[in-house]
A and B are shown apart, each in its own frame.
Chain A
Amino acid sequence: MSAVQTASPPQEDVRRRSPMAEVLFSLLRSRTFLVGLAIVLFWVACALFGEHFAPYDPLADDIINALAPPSREHWFGTDQIGRDVFSRVIVGSRDILTVAPLATLLATVAGTALGLLTGYFRGIVDDVVSRILEAFMAIPVVIVALLAIVALGTSKTTVIVVIGLSFAPIIARTVRSAVLAERELDYVAAAQLRHESALHTMFVEILPNIIPPILVETTVRLGYAIFAVATLSFMGFGIQPPSPDWGLSISSNYGMIGGGFWWTVLFDALAIASLVIGVNLAADGVHGAFND
C-alpha cells in the first residue's frame, strides 16, 4: 500500500475502476506475467493445432531413418523407430496440457470445499479433517499413484484423480487460513444476523472474497501438476504409448543417451522445463498483481 492511497480521500461520490480491473491492469503491465503467459499460450497452441503445423505425423515410423541426428529434414532428429522428434515434441504437449489442468482443477475444487469447511466450522470439524489431510500429505505422491493404479488401472483419469487428490490438502490449507481471516470480519456476523445458512455464508459470502489467494495457489499448483504428470508418465503410470507425451518419450528413450543419441531426450526435457517455467512465471505475475 503506497502512501498515496493512505493519504487519498474518498473524493468523488462513486469511484469508477473496480478492484478486478485494477488487478488486470497490473497483470498486463507485469513483464513476468506476460513472458510466462506467452510461453504457456505457445504450448497451448501446439496442443490444439500441433498436428497442422508439425512437419511429420508424430506417430509415423520410418525404420530406415531411425536415430538420425538433427538435420534439415528432421530438426530435432528421429527416435529409435524413425519418428520425427520435432513433430512429437510439438504434439506431445496435448496430453500433459489436458491432464495437468484437470488435476489442478480437481485439486482446487476439492481443496476449496475442504478449506471452507474447516475454516468456517473450526473446532472439532477442523481438528478431525485437518489431521486426516495432514496424514494424507505425508504420503508421497508416487506411492499413492502406485496404490491407485493397482486399484483403478492405468489411465489418464487415474492420474488426474491421484494428482488432484494429492494436491487438494495443500490448497485446502491455504483456503482454510484465508477463511479463518475472513470469518472474523463483521459481514459474516451480519450474515448470521440474517439467519443465513452455513452453505450460503461459506459459498456466497466468503468464497468470492478469497478468490485471489485461491487463484494464486492454483497457478502455483499447476506448475507442480505439470511436473508430477511428467514424472508419472516417465514412470509408466497414466499416459500410455503411442502418445508422444514428453515424459513418456523420455522414459522410452533415455537408455539411448549412453549411445550418444541425446536428441531423443533433450528436446522433450526442455519442453517440460519451459512449460513449468512459463506457468511459474505467470503464477508469479498473478501473485504480484493480487498483492500489490
Chain B
Amino acid sequence: MTEPAKAKNALELKDLSVAYRVAGRNRAVLRNLSLTIGQGEAYGLVGESGCGKSTVALTVVRYLPRNGLISGGAISLDGQDVMKLDAEALRRARAESVSMVYQDPGKALNPSIRIGRQLTEIFELGGITGQAATDRAVAMLNRVRISDPPSVMQRYPHQLSGGMQQRVAIAMALANDPSMLILDEPTTGLDATVEAEVLDLIAQLRQELSASILFISHNLAVVSNMCDRVGVLYAGMLVEEGPTEVVFNDPRHPYTVALLRCLPRGGQRKDQGRLDTIPGFLPGIGATIKGCAFADRCALADDRCRTELPPLYELSDERGKRLSRCFHHDKAQALPRATPADVAPAPKPAAVPVLRVAGLNKTYASHGHPLRAVKDVSLDLRPGETLGLVGESGSGKTTFARLLLGLVPPDAGGTIELEGKALAPKLENRGDDQVKAMQIVFQNPDSALNRSHSIRHLIGRALKRLAGLRGAALEARLNDLVRSVRLTDRHLAVKPRQLSGGLKQRVAIARAFAGDPRIVVCDEPTSALDVSVQAAILNLLADLQAKEDVSYIFISHDLGVVRYLSDKIAVLYLGRIMEIGPSEEVFSGPHHPYTEALLSAVPKLDQTETARIRLDGEIPSATNPPSGCVFHTRCPRKIGPICEQQEPPLAEAQPGHSIRCHIPYAELRRLQKPAAAATVPA
C-alpha cells in the first residue's frame, strides 16, 4: 500500500457522460455527471430504478457492458486517470484499489468452489500463497464477524445463508485493502434483521478501514444511516447533493421532496391521509431532455424549467456544501401534493368476523423429518379490516396465506371459516362463491400475470370465471374495474411485459377484485416497486378497501408499509404467532422481544440513535425448532431456563392484544419503556 496523498480525492467524476448503444442508436444514461468522494468518506447515491445508479458503479472501474460507451468526461480514482489506463494497469487498479459488492451475494460467489478457496485465491493473486494465504483468509472472515472461519471456509456458498454470503462477499472485497469500496444495493435482498447486521458491519468496518465508500441504494433510510454525503440522481443527472442529514431534512429539489413524501413516515396510517405520489414516468434512457429532466412531473415547473437546463446552484451554508439543480430551489418544499391527502372516513369494521381461523397447522416432510411451517395459528378478521403479517423470511407468512387460499391443504384438525361457513381444506372442494370471496395479489406481477395474455384477457377471464359475466355486462364491468385501478383503455390491448411494474401490479389488483372478494391477500405487493409507485399502489389499496369494505391480509417485510395499511398485526416466528394485536399497540409496545428486535432493525430516516437490539444469527430450522420458546436462542430478553423448557402460551395482555412470552406484560412495559418511543419506524 502506498501512502495516499492527503490532497487527492478517492474518486472524482467530472462531466461524465455514458451512453448505451441500443438498436443502432446511442442512448444517454449519464449526462455530465460530476461528483467527488473524499478520502474516507461515505457517499450515498440514491434515485429510482433506471436513473443510472448502477451505471455509475460500473463506469468507475470501466466494467460497462459491450454496448456501453463513455462518451465524455473524466474519472479519476485516487488521482489516477481511469480513462487513460491500459488493460494491465486497469486490471491492477481493479485488483488493488477498488472493490465492489453487489446486490445478490449468491451470484457474486462461485457456486462450485469452496469459500476458503475463493478467498485464498485473492491473496494468491497478490503473491501470498500457502499457509500465509489461509491465515489471511481466516483473518478476513474474523474481520467480517464470522464465527468459526475454518468451518465456513470448508463450505460451498449455497450452504451459507444470505447474510453470511454477503459477509463473505464483503470479506472478499476487503481482502486487498481497497482504497475505494463500491456497494451496489448490498442489503436489498436481505431480511430487515440481516440487513441491520450487514449495515452494522459496514459501519464498524468504516471505523477500522480507511476506505472511501460509494453506497448505491434505492432505500433512503439505509443511505441516511450509512453515508456522510448523499447525491440524488435523476435521469442520469445529479439533481441534489449535500450532507445526508441536511438533504433529507431540508431538501431543495422537488424530486427529493417528492421521494421523501412517498414514504409512510412517523407511523402514518391509511386513515390519516393518502401518501403523496410522483405523477408520470422517468424519461426513457436516451430521451432528449430539454430543460429540467424532472419538469414533466413537477408541479412547480414553469416555462423556463421546460426550456432551459437549470444549473447546479450552490446553496452552501454553515451545515456544509450543497447543490440543487432547480430554478425554484428556494421553494422546493412548497411543492404541491400530486395526490390529495384527504381520505374518505373508513367504515367502522363490523363486529362479526368475516374470517375465523382456528388451530391451523401445516407440516411438510423434509428428508423424513416433519417441518412445521405453520403451527397452531388462530385468528379473526373483520370486514374492512387489514391484518398485517410480519416476520423474517421462513417465518411462515406466505405458507399461512396459501393455506387460507386453499393452494396448500392444511393438516387435519384446524378450521377456516369464511362468513360462518367452514372452508374445505382443498381449493377443488370449495364452492365457486367461496373461491371468489378470497383472492390474492402476488408479490411479483411478472410471475402472477400470464405473459402470453393481453391485459383485457387477464381481467376479462377473471370477470367471466369469478363474476360469471358475459358479453356486454362483462365489457361494462371490465371498464369500471379498469378505471377503479386507474388504468386506461389503451392498456387493455397490450401484454404485461409492455407495462411498468406499477401498472402490472394494478392489473393484478383489478383481477383480484373481479369477483367482489371479501378478503384479498396481499403478499408483498409493493416490494418490487420504486417508492413513488409503491405509494400509488398503497393509496389504491386503501381507497378500494374504503369503497368495497374488503378485508386485507397484508404481508410485507417493510414495517412502515405494514403499519400504514394495517389495523391489526400478527408477528410470526417459525410458523407460530408470537404476538397479535391492534396495529398501534403492537408498534408502540410493550411488545414481544421479537417484535421489539424487528422494529429496531428497520433503518430509519430520522436519525435518532437509540439502543439497537440485534438478533444474532439466522432463524433456526423449522425441522428442528428450539425447545421451549422457539425464540429463546436469539432472544435478547431471555429470562432463564424456563424459556428453554416451556413454550409460553399466547396470553392476552390487553383486550385483543396477545403476546407469547414468559415475561409478564408489566415487566415488558418496564423493560421497553425507555426505547418504546424511539422504536417506532420512521
Do the two chains bind? yes
Nearest A residue to B431, CB-CB:
A195
Cα of A209 to Cα of B447 in the assembled complex, Å: 12
Query: Is A151's beta carbon under 8 Å from chain B?
Result: no
Q: Chain A residues with Cβ under 8 A from B65's Cβ? A: 2-4
Is there an interface contact between B405 and A11, defined as CB atoms closer than 8 Å?
no
A3-B68, A4-B68 known; A13 vs B281 contact (CB < 8 Å): yes
The reply to whether A194 and B462 contact each other, CB–CB distance below 8 Å, is yes
Contact with A along B448-482 (1 / 0, CB 8 A): 11111100000001100110000000000000000
Q: Which residues of A contact B405 (CB under 8 A)?
A: 189, 193
When distances are taken between beta carbons in the complex, the residues of chain A under 8 Å from B427 are 192-193, 195
B20 at interface, CB cutoff 8 A: yes
* Residue from the set A2, A14, A15, A196 with the largest chain B CB neighbour count within 10 Å: A14
Q: Is the CB of B498 within 8 A of A18?
A: yes
Say whether, besides A2-B67, A3-B65, A11-B283, A196 and B22 are in contact (CB < 8 Å).
Answer: no
Q: B448 near A3 (CB under 8 angstroms)? A: no
Per-position binary interface string of chain A over residues 4-20, scored 1 when its CB falls under 8 Å from any chain B CB and 0 otherwise: 10111111111110110
**B68, B281, B449: the one within 8 Å of A12 (CB):** B281
5 pairs, CB–CB < 8 Å, chain A vs chain B: A7-B29, A10-B50, A18-B495, A194-B465, A209-B451
* Interface window among B262-270, B379-387, B437-445: B437-445
CB–CB B54/A10 < 8 A: no
Let me know if A292 is at the binding interface, CB within 8 A.
no
- Say yes or no: B462 contacts A14, CB within 8 Å: no
Pick the contact of B448: A12, A14, A187, A195 (CB < 8 A): A187
Is B285 an interface position by the 8 A CB rule?
yes
New A-B pairs, 13, CB < 8 Å, besides A4-B65, A7-B285: A4-B20, A4-B285, A8-B50, A8-B284, A9-B50, A9-B51, A9-B282, A14-B498, A187-B448, A187-B450, A190-B450, A193-B405, A195-B432
B499 x A10 contact (CB < 8 A): yes
With A7-B55, A11-B285, A194-B465: A16-B498 Cβ-Cβ less than 8 Å: yes
Interfacial residues, chain B to chain A (CB-CB below 8 A)? 20, 22, 29, 48-52, 54-55, 58, 64-68, 281-285, 287, 405, 407, 427, 432, 435, 438-440, 442, 444, 447-453, 461-462, 465-466, 490-491, 494-495, 497-503, 511
Interface: A205 (CB within 8 A): yes
Nearest opposing residue in chain B for A198, CB measure: B428
Q: Are B448 and A186 in contact (CB under 8 A)?
A: yes
- Is A140 among interface residues, defined by CB-CB distance under 8 A? no
Which residues of chain A are near B444, meaning CB under 8 Å?
186
A11 touches B67 (CB 8 A): no
A3 to B50, CA, bound (A): 11
- Complex Cα distance, B52 from A288, in Å, reads 29
* Interface residue from B285, B447, B461, B503 paired with A194 (Cβ < 8 Å): B461
Give the contacts of A187-214 with B (CB-CB under 8 A): 187, 189-190, 192-196, 205, 208-209
**Complex contact B465–A196 (CB within 8 A):** yes
Chain B residues positioned under 8 Å from A209 (CB to CB): 450-452
B465 touches A195 (CB 8 A): yes
Whether A185 is near chain B, meaning CB under 8 Å from some CB there, is: yes
Minimum CB–CB distance for B452 against chain A, Å: 3
Tell me, in angstroms, the Cα distance from A209 to B435 when the chains sit together. 26
Cα–Cα distance between A227 and B67 once the two chains are bound (Å): 41
- Give the docked Cα–Cα distance between A13 and B330 (Å): 32
Q: Which residues of B contact A196 (CB under 8 A)?
A: 465
Cross-chain contact A19 with B497 (CB below 8 angstroms): yes
Q: A3-B68, A186-B444, A195-B432 are in contact. Are A11 and B50 (CB under 8 A)?
A: yes
B500 near A13 (CB under 8 angstroms)? Answer: yes
Going nearest first, the 9 A-B pairs with the smallest beta carbon separation are A9-B50, A10-B500, A11-B284, A208-B452, A186-B448, A194-B465, A3-B65, A186-B442, A187-B450
CA distance A194 to B48 in the complex (A): 35
Smallest Cβ distance from B434 to chain A, in angstroms?
10
Closest to A209 in B: B452
Taking a contact as CB atoms under 8 Å apart, the answer to whether A7 and B442 are in contact is no
Residues of A within 8 A of B465 (CB): 194-196
Find residues 48-94 in chain A having any chain B CB closer than 8 Å to their own CB.
none
Q: Is there an interface contact between A195 and B435, defined as CB atoms closer than 8 Å?
A: yes
Q: Which residues of B contact A3 (CB under 8 A)?
A: 54-55, 58, 64-65, 68
Contact B283 A190 (CB under 8 A): no
Are A11's CB and B282's CB within 8 A?
yes
Q: In the docked arrangement, what's the CA distance between A216 and B56, Å?
A: 38
List A contacts of B54 (CB < 8 A). Answer: 3, 6-7
A219-240 toward B: CB 8 Å interface, digit per residue (1/0)? 0000000000000000000000
A9, B498: Cβ atoms closer than 8 Å: no
Q: How far is the CA of A3 from the CA of B66 in the complex (A)?
A: 9
Nearest neighbor of B280 in chain A, beta-carbon distance: A13
> Which residues of chain A are near B51, meaning CB under 8 Å?
9
CB distance from A128 to the nearest CB of B (A): 22
Give chain A residues whose Cβ lies under 8 Å from the Cβ of B442: 186, 189-190
B494 touches A12 (CB 8 A): no
**When the two chains form their complex, are residues B462 and A186 in contact, meaning their CB atoms are under 8 A apart?**
no
Distance in Å: Cβ of B519 to nearest Cβ of chain A: 12
Contacts of B22 in A (CB 8 A): 4
Residue in A closest to B435 when the chains form the complex, CB atoms: A195
The answer on a CB contact under 8 Å between B447 and A187 is: yes
Tell me how far the C-beta of B30 lies from the nearest C-beta in chain A, rounded to whole angstroms.
11
Q: Which residues of B contact A186 (CB under 8 A)?
A: 442, 444, 447-448
> What is the minimal beta-carbon distance from B569 to any residue of chain A, in angstroms?
25
Determine whether the beta carbon of A190 is less than 8 Å from that of B499: no
Could you tell me the distance in whole angstroms from the C-beta of A141 to the nearest C-beta in chain B? 34
Q: How far is the CB of B523 from chain A (nearest CB, A)?
A: 9
User: A13 to B447, Cβ gap below 8 A?
Assistant: no
B426 to chain A, nearest CB (A): 10
Let me know if B466 and A194 touch, CB within 8 A.
yes
> How many angstroms between the C-alpha atoms of A4 and B432 in the bound complex?
45
Chain B residue at minimum C-beta to C-beta distance from A188: B450
**Cross-chain contact of A193 among B67, B435, B499 (Cβ < 8 A):** B435
Cα–Cα distance between A16 and B493 once the two chains are bound (Å):
11
Alpha-carbon separation in the docked complex, A205 to B495 (Å): 14
Bound: A2/B20 CA distance, A = 11
Bound state CA distance, A211 and B66, in angstroms?
Answer: 30
B residues within 8 A CB of A192?
407, 427
Q: Which residue of B lies closest to A184 (CB)?
A: B447
Q: Is A14 within 8 A of B466, CB to CB?
A: no
Whether the pair B64, A190 counts as a contact (CB closer than 8 A) is no
Q: Which residues of A contact B494 (CB under 8 A)?
A: 14
Contact between chains at A14 and B67 (CB < 8 Å): no
* Contact residues in A for B67 (Cβ distance below 8 Å): 2, 4
* Complex: A83 Cα to B462 Cα, angstroms: 66
- Docked Cα-Cα span, A16 to B452, in Å, equals 15
What's the Cα separation between A192 and B450 when bound, in Å?
13
Given contacts A186-B442, A187-B450, contact A14 B491 (CB under 8 A): yes
A249–B244 Cα distance when bound, in Å, is 82
Chain B residues near A193 (CB-CB < 8 A)? 405, 407, 427, 435, 438-440
Q: Which residue of chain A has its CB nearest to the CB of B497?
A: A19
Q: Are A189 and B50 in contact (CB under 8 A)?
A: no
A11-B498 contact given A4-B20, A193-B405, A194-B462, CB 8 Å threshold? no
What separation, in Å, do the CA atoms of A16 and B442 have in the docked complex? Answer: 26
Nearest CB in chain B: distance from A200 CB, A: 9
Give Cα A203–Cα B447 distance, bound, in whole angstroms: 18
Nearest-CB residue, chain A, relative to B283: A11
CB atoms of B499 and A194 under 8 A apart: no
Residues of A within 8 A of B462 (CB): 194
B281 to nearest A CB, angstroms? Answer: 6
Q: Which of B66, B287, B490, B501 contacts A14 (CB 8 A)?
A: B490
How far, in whole Å, are A14 and B503 apart by their CA atoms in the complex? 9
* Residue numbers in A under 8 Å from B451 (CB-CB): 19, 209
B166 CB → nearest A CB, Å: 19
